[in-house]
Each structure stands twice: as structure tokens, then as C-alpha cells.
A and B are shown apart, each in its own frame.
Chain A
């Protein structure tokens, strides 16, 4: 870790008193509280705008429910003050902001679709947010030392596999829109694959830290790159097969891509070998070609993507209707948007979940979409920063893995909506209606908070960034 040695020497000559002040725990928590209150304010304003635009008056009901989750958010904050005072101050406010805007937009579409009671996705989202915040407190309290997670490497791997298999269990798994990724628990449906991505990140980090030497040092040189031995190919093939199984049997293109991309990036960071990435991309292309050949739903996704405006494809069952309606919506919003509650996002199918970002882009415009994406970039960059500052390889890998999984998931879903890549069914982190995604992303937040707190407790100065 020559870099850290360098940092230490640099810090000796740097403006130490100022840096000390910034890293002062009390002050960081105050910054966090202030930003959380700002996020509350903006979210409440968004809800007011939605109500004024759609009903012409303010109704208290939704605010009472939001007050509960606001209280829970403050509980997270207070909890951090006691157990992790040095945790990053920006992560929670950003997550609150995204979550709040998501609820406002989901609520707005509920009003248009006249969803009330338990049919109201906004009410469910609020309930799930409460659960997610509770889970965040739980994780922050339980995972005292994130480095200790390395001990549970294989346990995490096992949990991931079990979670992925759950939807395939007869009587438990349910199929929604052709994808078999859900389980039914009473009145609630849950997507265990969302939680599995955390378990997988822990497993990958632990496994790669143990095996990084054999994966990176040994091998034959070919065309300027060092390629691994045949016997070391096991892990990448295993993850590739796992992803393909998800794509084939659960008919969920997005999740398969998510896992494979996550593994590839963590493998690259662990080994520093570009050859792994090239092999991974080769496997990906082979898998994509095979899927396009044998899986009709994957073939449809490709057709919808490159020829979306073709009337035949537009009108076809499982055609590009949704994709094109999303584009119409974004175009309708234009630069400044129609204003909250004044667009027609509800015309687009699944406008509250997979297409929440198109709904927001329509009502908040390109300007609003930029703001949202900047928030996500900031969140991801905090994760990456924690990775840079981490003192041990496991924490480094885990941080970058968790940060990347948020970025990658955002790219896969918004890239699909904006037609950069074929559409995959994934949720926009923190914003889309869907409890499992919300719980999983808040758990990621909890782990990142613990990671950032743990590294600041190490008696040394933090990298200036």
C-alpha cells in the first residue's frame, strides 16, 4: 500500500488543523442532520406540488405517513451519532432525497391511476421505506466491524445462492410479467435477488481477497496480456453460469447482467488484470448471442431496442410500446419538465417502478433528471471514496463493489429507458416502487456507513479528496 504511505507523508505537511476540523465526528453528524432536513423539505415540497397540481388542495394524510418514516430517518441519524459518529455525512441525506422524490412521483401516479388503500404503491413504498430504515438501523448495529464480514465469505455465498433459488421453490415463488424472481410472503411480494446482490458482493470480496494472488500472478503471457491458468478459470465460469441461469430460468436479463458485471469489476480491482475483463466480456458476448438465439424474450428486447419505432414492433405483444411511450414522456417533459403533477407519466406502463425515471424526467425535465443523476453520482463517488480510503483489501473491494452495484444498476435501467442499451427489468435505486430494492439499497447504505466509520477510526489521516 505505497499510496497510503505517501498519503501519510503528505498529510504531515498538509493543513492538519483544518482537516481535523472536517473530520470531527460531532460536526459531521450536524452536517448530516442539516442535509437530511433539507431533503425532508424538498420531498415535502414535492408532495405539496403534486397535491396542488392534481387535487388543487393540500391533504394531510400522506404527510402523516411520511412523518413516520422521517422519524425513522432521524432514528438512523441518532443511531449513527452513538455507534458510528465518523460515518460519511452525505450518504444518508442523498438516499433520503432520492427516496423522497421517488415517493412523491409514485404518489403522483397513484393519484392519476386512482390507486387507493393498499393498492396505492406510494403507501406500500412508505411502508417499505419504514422497513428499510429499520433494516438500516439493524445492519448498522449488528455489523460493528465490516471487516469481520470477511469471516462469513462462504456463508454469504451460500445465502446468495439460497436467495436466488427461493423464487424457484414451488408454492413460494410467483411469476410477474414473465420473470420468476419474486416470492410471496403473505400480502407482500419480495425479490430475494435484490438482497442476494449484497451477499454476492460480500462473497466476491472475501473470495477475491483470498485468491487474488493466484488469480493475478500466475498465467501465460499472450498478446501483451497475462492470461490465467485453466484451473483458475473456475470462479469466473461459475459466476457466468450463475448469471446465465438467472437469465434462462428466472427470465430476468437485468439481474443476470447485474451480477456478472459486479463480479467482473471486483475481479478486475482485486487482480488488476485486464485480461480477466476481456475474457469476461468474451463470455458475455457468447452468452448474449446464445440468449438472442434461444430465448424469445431476449430476442424481443433486442428487436425493441434497435427498431423501437417500427409500427409492427410497437404494436406487437411484448413489443416496444412501453419503451416508446417512455421516450414520448421524456420528450414531453423537455428541458424544464411539465412540473410535478402536470405531465402524463401514467400513460407509460409500469411508470411507478421500472419507468420511474422516465416519469420524473417528464415532470421535472432534463434539469431534474440531471439533478437526480448527479445525486446518484455523488452517492456512488462517496462509495468509491470509501474504497480509496479503506486500509484493508476486503473493505476496499467491498466498498467499490457496493458503489459499483448502485452505479451499474442505475446504468442498466436508465440506459434501457433512454435506449443506450436494450431494456432490462431493473429498479432505479431508492426511487422505483418496489420494497426489496429499497431494503437492499438501504442495507448497502448501512454497510457503506459502517465501512466509512471504521476506516476513520484507524489512527491516521484520511486521503484528501
Chain B
């Protein structure tokens, strides 16, 4: 019988070896793929257990995780939540992430491969990984002023430092309270999220980088850049000064904003047309130049592309091919041209920076929980859409616009401000989109670019215009930026 006993023993041993083998496959070979299965709630809960790193702006804490006595161990808290919501985004239990919380998630959780040392340390000590802190380029004083200046309007403000591409302020209204989304009561969170999602004013849209509006007259800067860079035009080049113009082959008539000619005289120069923001001369210039150089110039500024700031922006849009009347409309930012506030700010910034466009970013540095620097900001050039000479010429037009043109409400005592307003049509009877973009100072460093957009006509329907509503907001913010 012992022969049989031996065989049965071998069979039993094989059974156990099978169990050990299967367990090894599950716990080692398949562990990562099991962890990444969307149905694996353990992975989800794990992400809440790590103490998420804070989001900072200078010394100001914008978001931090504080220990609480429940299953999730930590609660995410946002300071001044409405003001910073478009930047920080939100961190929820089961409705996903947004903003910096989402784009920098791997650093904040401590799971980024650059935090390998911390991960090993947490395995050895048994303590949960501590996330890195993300430090932003945002200047809290500017952000607050921009928030206050925008008042009850629906819209956005973006301020950048032109020489570096750092975003100093990024305001979106209406906003939301990410604290109410970070709560641990799922039902309350979902109710609040649904309410935001169904709100017709769309508070969940991050307007500075996500809202696409017709840029209107602010786009004249791109048209002017294309004209000057073509070599065939100078600021003194002229076209006949007409009050209205019937677009060739159509029954569409375009007018200047006050239905008058662009200043006195039979001829009007490019300089005057931009300074006074006249549609008819720009349309004539645009048609004479053709759509191609305008589209190419827009693309050099960043149209049809997205930026990672590090959140991915919406792509500003210009059609690749246009006929003559479409080109005329696009020359002053109508037809199908659409731009984010950030894109318009980048145009101003490139002009201010002598034609060099810097890549925009919100990230100043990332610091591990033991204060070891993980990454630090270095300025990065995005493109050189125009020459320094062209930049200087356009700057002069924008300066004139603020001192005695269409953007006078942006002027600041003792500071030379360059600016361009925009009053964009959204369709017959629809409220206008009101713009201001510009920068200050025009000489000396550092220079700051600002873009203000007010949607929905600023409550005035088709009676509001950029200089009335957007320009004063820009002035208030620029004053605050320059004070420091």
C-alpha cells in the first residue's frame, strides 16, 4: 500500500504547488493589471488614503488634505474656493478630478515615478505615501483683484508674465465650491455636481482655457501682424476710408462700429484702423492680403493647437481655407474664428515680448514631502510669430488705442498701457462677447499681459462694448499687478 500512499502524496504535493503557482501569478504577475481594473474599488480607496500633497500659490495654501476620522482618512479642503476653483479644479470620491488636481494627480498622490524614494520609504515604514506639493505661478493678490474686478459678470480674466509665460491670475465666473465636491457624503456630492452640471451658466466650464468665443476686434492684432510680416504693408499703408462695405458676391454689408468712416480723410492707414478698431479697413486689408497669411499667423500664435498649462486647453480655431467674404469677416475676428481668453492673452504677450511667444504654464515648482525639489520652472519658448520690429509697430498701435483710440478706459496714470478691445457678435440678436487684451508697461521689464472677456454682453445685450465693460476691469487688474 505504501506505493499508492507515495503516489497520493505526490498528487497532494502537486495540488499545493498548483495553489502556490496560481497565487504567485495573481499576487505578483497580475497585480498591476488587477489594480488598474476600473472596477477595483481598493485602488480607488487607496488613492484617498495617501495624504495628498497641497496646492500652493507662493505662501498661500489653495488646497490641502486634512486628517479626518472616517474611512477615507483625509478630507480635501480648499481655501477661497470660488476664486481658485478654475485653477485647483476638484477632487471627488467618485465623480473624477479636474484642474491641477487632475493634471498633477500622480505628483499629488506620490505615485509619480520621480517619487520612488518616498514610495520605498512608505513600504518600509508602513506609513502611507505623502504626496508632493504643487506650487503655482499664481499671484494671490492679482487673482483676488481680478476676481473682484470681474464683479458679477460671466467671463474670464487671464494675466501672464510675458517674459516667462507664467500665468499670474486665471479667473472664471461663475465659479463653484470644490469643497462641496470633495465631501465624503456621496449623495450630497452627486447632488451638487448635478446642479452644477445642469446650471445654464455652465460653472463647470473653465472659461480662461476652455471657453471658445469669437475674438472679435482683438483678432485685428493677428491680421495686422500678418500684414506687417508679409513685407508688403507698413503701419502707414492705406485703404479707402468707407463707412460700410458690401462683401463681394454677397448681400452682406459690414460697418464700422459706429456706422461712420474710420476717422476723417479719404484714405485710412492700418495704424489708425487698428487704433480706432475699424472693421471696414481691416476687411479691405485682409481681402487684399488673402486668407493664407492670416491663417498661418494665427497658427503661429497657437490657433488650432492646445496648450498644457498643465491642464489641456481647448483649441482656438480658425478655418484652414476661406473665400473672400469669409476672409473679410475673419480679419476682424468674426466668421468661424474662435479663441480662448488664454489664446488672446498669448497674442498680447508675444507682442509685448518683442515677438517671442513663451509657453504658458501654472506650475512654478513641485516639491516632495521632504522638501526635495522634484521639478522647477524653466521658461520655454513656444514660437516666434513676428519680428521685434513688427512687435514694436503693433505695440504703438495698441498704445494709441488706449491713449486716444477705442480702448481709452484702460489707461493708467503714469503708465503706458497697450491695449485692444473687442466687441464680438455671436449671431443676430445674441448678446455680444466683450473683450479687452493688452499689456503694460510698454517699456521696461517685467511686462504683464492681460485678457478680459465678458460673455453675454455684460448684461447689456447688444448695447455693451469692450471699452465700456472689459477695459475698466483690465485697468483695475493691471494697476494691482504693477503696484508690486
Which A residues are closer than 8 A to B by beta carbons? 3, 265, 268-270, 272, 309, 314, 324, 327-336, 339, 342-344, 347, 361, 365-366, 369-370, 373, 376-377, 380-381, 384, 387-388, 393, 396-397, 400, 403-404, 407-408, 410-411, 414-415, 418-420
CB distance from B433 to the nearest CB of A (A): 44
Provide the residues of chain A in CB contact with B30, threshold 8 Å.
Answer: 327, 331
User: In the docked arrangement, what's the CA distance between A388 and B4, Å?
Assistant: 10
CB pair A361 B23 closer than 8 Å: yes
List residues 157-214 of chain B with CB under 8 A from any CB of chain A: none
Query: With contacts A334-B27, A335-B27 known, is A328 near B22, CB below 8 A?
Result: no
CB pair B5 A396 closer than 8 Å: yes
CB pair A366 B28 closer than 8 Å: yes
Query: With contacts A330-B23, A369-B23 known, is A411 near B5, CB below 8 A?
Result: no
CB pair A347 B19 closer than 8 Å: no
Chain B CB within 10 Å, residue with most, of A270, A339, A404: A404
In order of increasing CB-CB distance, the 7 nearest A-B pairs are A331-B34, A418-B22, A366-B27, A269-B4, A411-B15, A331-B31, A407-B12
CB pair A373 B35 closer than 8 Å: no
CB distance from B335 to the nearest CB of A (A): 46
Closest chain A residue to B3, Cβ basis:
A272
14 contacts between A and B (CB under 8 A): A269-B4, A327-B30, A328-B42, A330-B34, A331-B27, A344-B42, A366-B24, A366-B27, A370-B20, A373-B23, A376-B16, A407-B15, A411-B16, A418-B22
CB pair B18 A334 closer than 8 Å: no
Provide the residues of chain A in CB contact with B2, threshold 8 Å.
Answer: 3, 388
CB distance from B330 to the nearest CB of A (A): 48
Q: Main SS of chain B's interface residues?
A: helix
CB pair B22 A420 closer than 8 Å: yes
Provide the residues of chain A in CB contact with B11, threshold 8 Å.
Answer: 265
Q: Main SS of chain A's interface residues?
A: helix
User: In the docked arrangement, what's the CA distance between A380 and B13, Å?
Assistant: 10
CB pair B1 A347 closer than 8 Å: no
**Contacts A269-B4, A331-B40, A420-B22 given; 4 further ones with Cβ under 8 A?**
A265-B11, A334-B27, A369-B27, A415-B15
CB pair A420 B19 closer than 8 Å: yes
Q: Mark B53-90, 1 if CB is under 8 A from A, else 0.
A: 00000000000000000000000000000000000000
CB pair B42 A329 closer than 8 Å: yes
CB distance from B31 to the nearest CB of A (A): 4
Provide the residues of chain A in CB contact with B41, threshold 8 Å.
Answer: 328, 344, 347
CB pair B26 A268 closer than 8 Å: no
The yes or no answer to B37 lying at the interface (CB within 8 A) is: yes
User: In the docked arrangement, what's the CA distance between A388 and B43, Å?
Assistant: 49
Provide the residues of chain A in CB contact with B15, threshold 8 Å.
Answer: 407-408, 411, 415
CB distance from A432 to the nearest CB of B (A): 15
Which B residues are closer than 8 A to A by beta carbons? 1-5, 7-9, 11-13, 15-16, 18-20, 22-24, 26-28, 30-31, 34-35, 37, 39-43, 45-46, 123, 126
CB pair A404 B8 closer than 8 Å: yes
User: In the docked arrangement, what's the CA distance between A408 and B7, Å?
Assistant: 15
Provide the residues of chain A in CB contact with B123, threshold 8 Å.
Answer: 336
Provide the residues of chain B in CB contact with A329, threshold 8 Å.
Answer: 42
Closest chain A residue to B128, Cβ basis:
A342
CB pair B8 A384 closer than 8 Å: yes
CB pair A366 B23 closer than 8 Å: yes
Query: With contacts A365-B27, A366-B28, A380-B12 known, is A418 near B19, CB below 8 A?
Result: yes
Closest chain B residue to A362, Cβ basis:
B42
CB pair B27 A269 closer than 8 Å: no
CB pair A269 B23 closer than 8 Å: no
Q: A331: which of B18, B19, B26, B126 is its contact (CB, 8 Å)?
A: B26
CB pair A339 B126 closer than 8 Å: yes
CB distance from A348 to the nearest CB of B (A): 10
CB pair A373 B19 closer than 8 Å: yes
CB distance from B368 to the nearest CB of A (A): 23
CB distance from B94 to the nearest CB of A (A): 15
Q: A384: which of B5, B18, B20, B26 is its contact (CB, 8 Å)?
A: B5
Q: B4: which of A272, A376, A377, A410 is its contact (CB, 8 Å)?
A: A272
CB pair B19 A411 closer than 8 Å: yes
Provide the residues of chain A in CB contact with B28, threshold 8 Å.
Answer: 334-335, 366
CB pair B19 A268 closer than 8 Å: no
Q: B26: which of A272, A327, A376, A407 is its contact (CB, 8 Å)?
A: A327
CB pair B22 A419 closer than 8 Å: yes
Provide the residues of chain B in CB contact with A365, threshold 8 Å.
Answer: 27
Provide the residues of chain B in CB contact with A330, threshold 8 Å.
Answer: 23, 26-27, 34
Provide the residues of chain B in CB contact with A268, threshold 8 Å.
Answer: 4, 7-8
Provide the residues of chain B in CB contact with A265, threshold 8 Å.
Answer: 8, 11
Query: With contacts A335-B27, A415-B19 known, is A328 near B13, CB below 8 A?
Result: no
CB pair B5 A381 closer than 8 Å: no
User: In the docked arrangement, what's the CA distance between A400 and B5, Å?
Assistant: 7
CB pair A373 B20 closer than 8 Å: yes
Q: A344: which of B13, B23, B45 is its contact (CB, 8 Å)?
A: B45
CB pair A418 B126 closer than 8 Å: no
User: In the docked arrangement, what's the CA distance between A302 and B35, Å?
Assistant: 24
CB distance from B449 to the nearest CB of A (A): 49
User: In the docked arrangement, what's the CA distance between A395 and B2, Å?
Assistant: 13
Query: With contacts A272-B4, A384-B9 known, is A342 near B126, CB below 8 A?
Result: yes
Provide the residues of chain A in CB contact with B22, threshold 8 Å.
Answer: 415, 418-420
User: In the docked arrangement, what's the CA distance between A458 and B28, Å?
Assistant: 49
User: In the docked arrangement, what's the CA distance between A408 and B15, Å?
Assistant: 8
CB pair A328 B34 closer than 8 Å: yes
CB pair B23 A332 closer than 8 Å: no
Provide the residues of chain B in CB contact with A332, threshold 8 Å.
Answer: 31, 34-35, 40, 42-43, 46
Provide the residues of chain A in CB contact with B35, threshold 8 Å.
Answer: 328, 331-332
CB distance from A301 to the nearest CB of B (A): 17
User: In the docked arrangement, what's the CA distance between A329 and B27, Å?
Assistant: 9
